[in-house]
Amino acid sequence: MATETVGDTTVPNHDETETEPTEFEKNQKRYPKTGSTWLKSLTFSIANRFRFDHLTNPLLKLNPHELIPFIEIQFPLFPHIDVLKDKGNTLFSTHMPHELLPDSVVKTGCKMVYIWRDPKDTFISLWHFFQKKRSDSGPLNGLEESFDMFCNGLSVYGPYLDHVLAYWKAHQESPDQILFLKYETLTADPLPHVKRLAEFMGYRFTAEEEKNGVVEKVVNLCSFETLKNLEANKGDKEREDHPSPYTNDTYFRKGKTGDWKNYLIPDMAARMDGLMEEKFMGTGLLENGK
């Protein structure tokens, strides 16, 4: 369950002089989709901040999914793409369950970062995603039927709760190899967690960088508003200079925590919460992020 959320209401402090909010303050509450798109943009910016400055970051022209390829998609299906030939790229992604990861990932000591989200918001995000992606292929299952399937473990990469739990257990066994993040906690206060992410990846921000606001610049660049408004992520029209399946707004819907309240009735929410309680009880996962 989500334990920390960001409210939409700000109470002004009348004892202080009101100032115009900074770009960072404007953007810090708005992040992409269910976490994977946002995490890709953050990790790419962190790892490549010495290769590219704030004005030449490839995120300004390419979707995050183009810059960090899926090992189960781009490698077997698009082996010719530039990012796979870039020896400077050390970042790859996957939605595969932990038990299906190849030995080349699990047994070589490479570091992994896993992000999870309140399953209710995860479901709503996925449901909208597939509504957009498959809208031209005929009618889709309704919300209630899709939710029932999700609760029964029918999801693209297997049962979601099992997916989360497997990576949580792997993190507990090897915390130096797997960093386990919670979307709601990350959105509530991104700066310390982005610094923690950079340190885990081996790209720790220096004192000078922190003083110069580099952390804020990374978070601001990767914000929902910044990424969604870039030409690379607008509309469904493919770019003539760089055709891509990611050049649409499917990956940038709202980025809000608690959006499930606009779609799920109380009985549906209670059902998912009960499944979480049953699946995660005694593992320490329910307390993660508190």
Q: What is the Cα–Cα distance from 179 to 167, expressed in whole angstroms?
A: 9
Residue with tokens 């077997």: 76
| Nearest alpha carbon to residue 69 among 266, 244, 279 | 244
Q: What is the Cα–Cα distance from 35 to 117, expressed in whole angstroms?
A: 8
Where helices occur in 68-159 by DSSP H, the ranges are 74-77, 82-85, 103-106, 119-133, 143-151
Which structure tokens are listed for 144?
A: 């209630």
How many other C-beta atoms are found inside a 10 Å radius of the C-beta of residue 187? Answer: 24
Q: What is the Cα–Cα distance from 71 to 77, expressed in whole angstroms?
A: 10
Q: What are 115's strand-pairing partners?
A: 181
Q: What is the Cα–Cα distance from 104 to 74, expressed in whole angstroms?
A: 17
| Nearest alpha carbon to residue 115 among 75, 171, 159, 46 | 171
Q: What is the Cα–Cα distance from 101 to 107, expressed in whole angstroms?
A: 10
CB burial string 101-129: b at 16+ within 10 A, e below = beeebeeeeeebbbbbbbbbbbbbbbbbb
Q: What is the Cα–Cα distance from 245 to 236, expressed in whole angstroms?
A: 9
Amino acid residing at 223: S
Any idea which residues carry the catalytic annotation?
Answer: 95
